[in-house]
Structure 1
Amino acid sequence: PMIDVMMFLLVFFVLISLNVIPALGLKTQLPSAGSAQQLKPQKKAIITLGAGDQLQLDGQPLPLNALVNTLKQQQQENQTTTIIVNSDKEVAVERLIAVMDTLRQGGFFSISIATRKQ
């Protein structure tokens, strides 16, 4: 019986890692860029912009006016947080700019936009 449980867990994690079972969060289709590159590991926060004015911070829904305060609470002293904006390609550029302006006014300057490599 224990081997059955272990086999189930193995299959479950393989399916999750292959994205056969979808993860939680907004579904987005990233725009592509020829200069896309992999980010180095560091303290990061992922902001997801979806259609219909949806906004999530690390998978949790959040209004735009609470974004900076939440990020400042999560940020550790003397540590730069890199913010990755994961915006659906259907999201209006004005909305993306509004989010980035809000972040910069809040003191966050290390902002990257997630893309797919062409």
Structure 2
Amino acid sequence: MIHFEEPQQRRARLEIIPMIDVMMFLLVFFVLLSINVISARGVQTNLPQSSTSTSIDPEKPLVVTVTREGPLQVNGADTTLAALAEAVRGEARDNRTPTVTLKTDEAATMQRVIDVMDVLKHASITRVAIATRSKPE
């Protein structure tokens, strides 16, 4: 009788290193995506220039965006001039003395900016800063 030797069967191995590489790639991708999405919140404006620009760093930024003709925005959410005070109070409910940063387009009329500042003053918000970019020297 002829006896044939059967080859030993190899067991399949589960390689996790390529899976870890893929997971790290996805993690980095989503982190970079979320950083770009957060900074792009709101309407793009062309800020006016100032030679005396300083940096402010409130704990919870409260940004009111004023464009030339478009809607006002509070932290990226559209609002109207009539509803601005309520929207700011809603965003700043945890802060007794919120600092509001006005992000105005350089083409926005001064009257529109003053109207926004009047509404903020009537809402008892006295700490208002105007965002600018530094002038090139």
Q: Is the 8 A contact 2:62 2:92 kept in 1?
A: no
Structure-2 separation of matches of 1:60 and 1:80: 21
The CA deviation string for residues 40-97 of structure 1, in whole angstroms up to 9 with x for no partner, is 3334310011232321000000111111122223334672100000011111111111
Q: Which runs of 5+ in 2 are unaligned?
A: 1-18
Distance 1:78 1:10, change over 3 A: closer
Structure 2 residue matching 1:46: 3-state secondary structure: strand
Cα deviation for residue 2 of structure 1 reads: 4.1
Q: Is the 8 A contact 1:43 1:80 kept in 2?
A: no
RMSD of aligned residue pairs (Cα, Å): 2.5
Aligned to 1:97: 114
Q: Which runs of 5+ in 1 are unaligned?
A: none
Identity rate, percent: 30
Normalising by structure 2, what TM-score?
0.72
2:91 matched to 1:74? yes
Aligned to 2:42: 25
Distance 1:54 1:78, change over 3 A: closer
Structure-2 separation of matches of 1:77 and 1:12: 30
Cα deviation for residue 8 of structure 1 reads: 3.1
Normalising by structure 1, what TM-score?
0.82
Q: Which amino acid aligns with 1:52?
A: E
How many residue pairs get matched?
117
Deviates more, 1:4-13 or 1:41-50: 4-13
Tell which structure's C-alpha radius of gyration is larger: 2
